[in-house]
Structure 1
Amino acid sequence: MSTNKLLKEYLTFIVDFHNVIRKEYNISNNENIWSYIIEKELEKGTVGVYNYIRHGSGFTVEKNEVICEYDIAPLNEYDIKFSFWKFKNFIETNYKQIIIEDSLLKKDLSDMITANILSWLITDGINWNIYQINFTALESF
């Protein structure tokens, strides 16, 4: 299975969760979900078929034993930030039969950075080894 397809599934999972949580809490489309959850002091909950826990700058979301972790705090112009481990964990909980070679997945993600699909999170000249992407990237898959 291609990493592009897996990344699209990861983003689609997040978008679907956001659509459900926006509807459940009546959050406007121009309001950041994480900011809303912080303001309302919601730590965890269930919306639709999703169980979520807010952590630091993002969420851990579970649906049908698939775990999706990501950061969404409005730190810069990118909507979603995720580590290699978070993305790999999503794949492994979604496709239990797939064995992921770390080096191949890292190469594919690196190629996506070269192709300007993903970007590194770099602050004050430090590369945090965190990938970034916008929701609009779904349109390019």
Structure 2
Amino acid sequence: MINIAIRKVLNDYVAFIDCFKHQFSPEMEEFEQRSRRNRSGHIGGFNYQFHGAGCRLEKDGIVCEFDFMPTNEYPIKFSLWGMKEFILTNKGYGIDKLEESELHEVLYPLVEDGTLVKLVLGGVVWEVYQI
């Protein structure tokens, strides 16, 4: 079992994305329009690349993957793989190895308490977390 303060990691993850979004475009509607036109680039220390419904951010060696579609009341969506990349590339956490099953285990209580919500599309519950 990994020893990680998952709520702090989640807060760091959201803050990382919010910092980028604020620099790219603080308004969500404008953000979505700009992300269709400016598929990749550099802004405020971030390298970004939009792909499909997702975005890959890199800053100071930290990699952050997130999805922002389909649009619903949860603006940030991520997979276990995306969160794993964020943790492993953030040297401040001191984690060199992480299994997705371990990450699922520490995220599950956050789903149970409503901090995170699983994505449901067409009646199917996906392994995508929303916040």
Shorter-normalised TM-score: what interval? 0.7 to 0.9
Percent of aligned positions that are identical: 36
**Which amino acid in the other structure matches residue 97 of structure 1?**
G
**Which amino acid in the other structure matches residue 94 of structure 2?**
Q
1:33: Cα distance to partner? 1.4
8 Å contact kept, 1:88–1:100: yes
1:2 aligns with 2:5: yes
1:122 aligns with 2:82: no
**Which amino acid in the other structure matches residue 123 of structure 2?**
G
8 Å contact kept, 1:35–1:73: no
**Which amino acid in the other structure matches residue 68 of structure 2?**
I
Alignment partners' CA distance in 1, 2:39 and 2:100: 32
Which residue does 1:50 correspond to in 2?
A: 46
1:36: Cα distance to partner? 2.6
Q: SS of 2:29's equivalent?
A: coil
Which residue does 1:59 correspond to in 2?
A: 55
Which residue does 1:16 correspond to in 2?
A: 19
Residue from 91, 94, 97 that aligns with 1:97: 94
Alignment partners' CA distance in 1, 2:33 and 2:129: 21
1:63: Cα distance to partner? 0.2
8 Å contact kept, 2:81–2:100: no
**Which amino acid in the other structure matches residue 128 of structure 2?**
I
CA distance change for structure 1 residues 3 and 32 in 2, over 3 Å: closer, same or farther? farther
CA distance change for structure 1 residues 33 and 74 in 2, over 3 Å: closer, same or farther? farther
**Structure 2 matches for 1:15-34, cutoff 5 A?**
15-22=18-25, 29-34=27-32
Instruction: Give me the CA root mean square deviation.
Output: 1.7
Q: TM-score, normalised by structure 1?
A: 0.82
Q: SS of 1:76's equivalent?
A: coil
Stretches of structure 2 that go unaligned for 5 or more consecutive residues are none
Q: TM-score, normalised by structure 2?
A: 0.87
**Which amino acid in the other structure matches residue 49 of structure 2?**
I
Stretches of structure 1 that go unaligned for 5 or more consecutive residues are 23-27, 134-141
Alignment partners' CA distance in 1, 2:81 and 2:41: 24
Alignment partners' CA distance in 1, 2:94 and 2:28: 38
> Any runs of at least 4 consecutive aligned residues in structure 1 with deviations exceeding 3 A, and if so which?
none
